[in-house]
Amino acid sequence: MNNRFVLIIAKYFSFFAFFFCLLLFWPGLMRSDSLLQMQQGLSLLPPSDFHPPMMGFIWGLFSKIYEGPGVLFVLHLALYWGAVALFANAKKSYWVYLIAILPPVFSYQLLVIKDVSFVNAYLFCAGWLHFYSMRKSSPNYYSVFIWFVVAFYGTCAAYQSIIALPWLCLWFSKVCWPQKAANWIKKGIAITGALGIAMLIFNSSLTVSSHRIQHNELYDLAGISVYLNTPLFPDYIKQHKDYDFERIKKLYNPRRVDDLVFLSDTPVHISSSPEELKALRTAWISAIFAYPMAYFKHRWDVFYQQLTMSLLKRPGDIKEKTTPLIVEVLNWVEIAGVFSVLSLLMAYAPYFGVQLFLVYKGFRYFKSDPKYVNLFFQNIMGIALVSSLFFIASAAEARYAYLAVAMFYFSFPILKKDIINK
């Protein structure tokens, strides 16, 4: 009787964990980005495309029932613990619940941010694919519909999802139509295109352009200019009243573009003029080709910060409002003397090489067993996303690599034998 009770608890652990997290951490922790998205969703701010509109759309949809971060917090936790349940029940691997509460994976679940929306949705889709491939069963139409809804939500939640989307869709196609490679590859590409177009239509219908890409171009131009000690900006920036190259050199840093461009008197003028934006694009491309080593140096400095940036912060370094419970936990981590180790584990650097090996292992044995198909696709999504940050990141944030970290840890159900079996 006792053993059966333990198994019942294990089987429905995700259900209990979902409500426990709601009670303990309600309504979740907000960052400034999330607050802006919520205000846009409640029509308190113009519908800019600086952030994807999906989270704001959800907030706006439920605003008459409840206003606040709690709506997204519930959705995030439902996706997360739903994904955990799929991984755990694929082969009755209930020890997977231990992975779900490890600090490098679980800590992000306290945050109501777009990165968690994106990662939890894709993690749910990955757990779904793992579940059906390991059980060697075919999903029904209702289950497939749920997968597409969640995949669409995750794709619309964060712009960087477009890097991982092709691999997720190819994985879906491989699981559903495994026989001929040409067949599942073509269908995977078609599904990628369909979800990508749906995402573009959704985003464009709810927002207006903020010309946000210019921030990356300005950041790269500033980095190259600083390393060469020669300003390479187009004339409209140099002729602006706030332009000051010495100030640019002081404001520039490889950790974030915000300190340079998000100022009322920024020395690199933010424009909405098509002619000026075209001039900026031309100057940016010319600088990259003319000074590739300076560009590489700038991008590597940003990328290195990204690899080593940890989510874990000391209590005194937290800028956003947080709960007393979290502050108490962080104080305990400091007192226990494990801050440095835990901080390292909550950065991506320790996992990069190992995850590359998992991709290689999955690819090498791709045709021998479905679990290696899962291993390959699950980890290449993370590798592709983090690698793309070398070129597109305008700041170093641990959350940018959360998908890779989560996919890495949830690879263990594929590689390890079950500890608890029914």
Q: Could you give the 3-state DSSP secondary structure of residue 421?
A: coil
pLDDT for residue 63 is more than 50: yes
Boundary of a domain, candidates 175, 209, 243: 209
- pLDDT number for residue 422: 39
What percent of the chain is helix, strand and coil (3-state, nearest 5)? Answer: 70, 0, 25
Helix (H) or strand (E) holding 111: strand 111-112
Helix (H) or strand (E) holding 258: helix 258-261
Beta-bridge partners for 208: 48
Residues 6+ apart with CB under 8 A from 42: 56, 59, 60, 63, 67
Boundary of a domain, candidates 153, 174, 209: 209
Q: Could you give the 3-state DSSP secondary structure of residue 102?
A: coil
Q: Are residues 55 and 197 in the same domain?
A: yes
Domains held by the chain: number: 2
Q: Is residue 119 part of a domain?
A: yes
Q: Is residue 20 part of a domain?
A: yes
Q: Are residues 321 and 202 in the same domain?
A: no
pLDDT for residue 1 is more than 50: no
Q: Could you give the 3-state DSSP secondary structure of residue 67?
A: coil
Q: Is residue 369 part of a domain?
A: no
Q: Are residues 189 and 322 in the same domain?
A: no
Q: Is residue 249 part of a domain?
A: no
Residues 268-311: tens digit of each pLDDT: 999 999 999 999 999 999 999 999 999 999 999 999 999 999 88
Rounded to an integer, what distance in angstroms lies between the CA atom of residue 137 and that of residue 133?
A: 7
Rounded to an integer, what distance in angstroms lies between the CA atom of residue 54 and that of residue 198?
A: 12
Q: Is residue 199 part of a domain?
A: yes
Helix (H) or strand (E) holding 226: helix 213-228
Domain extent for 319:
315-344
- Give percent of the chain with pLDDT exceeding 90: 68
**Distance (Å) of CA 11 to CA 90, 92, 127, 217:** 11, 8, 15, 50
Q: Are residues 192 and 323 in the same domain?
A: no
Q: Are residues 323 and 198 in the same domain?
A: no
pLDDT for residue 417 is more than 60: no
Q: Are residues 193 and 324 in the same domain?
A: no
Q: Is residue 288 part of a domain?
A: no
Boundary of a domain, candidates 162, 179, 209: 209
Token pair for residue 15?
Answer: 């259900």
Q: Is residue 420 part of a domain?
A: no
